[in-house]
Structure 1
């Protein structure tokens, strides 16, 4: 089991990766209102099968268009952690928004493509946002 401290450290490292490795961008610009405040999120780690790395990258690039239609998804990032490891970090105002995302189109597409593209099922961690800027 991965410790919470390790997961948080991995998330910070992933978010500080050079711009050349960032595959996605915020799905929606955060508004300075309490309704758009990020309170909860997801940290999803994806390990690509050998030879499927660029297919995973392309899949993640396409995911951005899908989450554009999710009003409760404040921010959505797809990042590359290494040649074979990727992650998704997204934020929501509340549990209802996070649950809607997990039941939405991008999650369904990911689970449908996982056996073809990934070494194993994605590791999905529900996280609480402690501070944002």
Structure 2
């Protein structure tokens, strides 16, 4: 009787492992290509612990969507004592986007002492991808820096811009 229960338990563990691998694969497919590449590079070069550590420093959610105006809304939480370093990271990203012709309105915001955000808009999918491939994306791919200053994974939301008001009204 014991061997039957042992086999059943082993079968359940195999099934659970297979389910986790399928979920991981589906999750990676939802990510932008640079994120999938990054996760694969880290797991191959530095082992499982480094992969787990790096993978939690940013997460991309949302679909690419149909063609049209696009944006990123990024939630960032600083490690306690690293708030100034996060503000510097935001300055560094802003400096990069100044030279990106397809990055339009760009805002860095602070919600609390440790919680920050970025909202950045693009005219289309190609503009958003150019931003990912550019300097701002490079900053987020600096895993050592992100691991040092972020408390939890930065959450990068891909969003469609439905409507906007792009100018301040005259005073």
Within the candidate set 116, 123, 127, 1:93 is matched to 123
Conserved 8 A contact 2:93-2:135: no
Indicate which of 73, 77, 96 corresponds to 2:103. 73
Give the drift of 1:103: 1.6
Instruction: Give SS of 1:88's match.
Output: strand
Please, which of 74, 79, 97 is the counterpart of residue 49 of structure 1?
A: 79
Q: CA RMSD in A?
A: 1.3
- Please name the residue that 2:24 is paired with: none
TM-score normalised over the length of structure 1: 0.68
- Which of the numbers 61, 86, 95 marks the counterpart of 2:91? 61
Instruction: Check whether the contact 1:47–1:86 (CA below 8 A) recurs between aligned residues.
Output: yes
Q: Is the 8 A contact 2:74 2:119 kept in 1?
A: yes
Q: Deviations over 1:42-64 (max 9, x none)?
A: 00011101110111012212321
Structure 1 stretches lacking a partner, 5+ long: 1-37
Q: Spell out structure 1 runs of 4+ moving beyond 6 A.
A: none
Aligned match for 2:113, one of 77, 83, 86: 83
Match of residue 150 from structure 2: 118
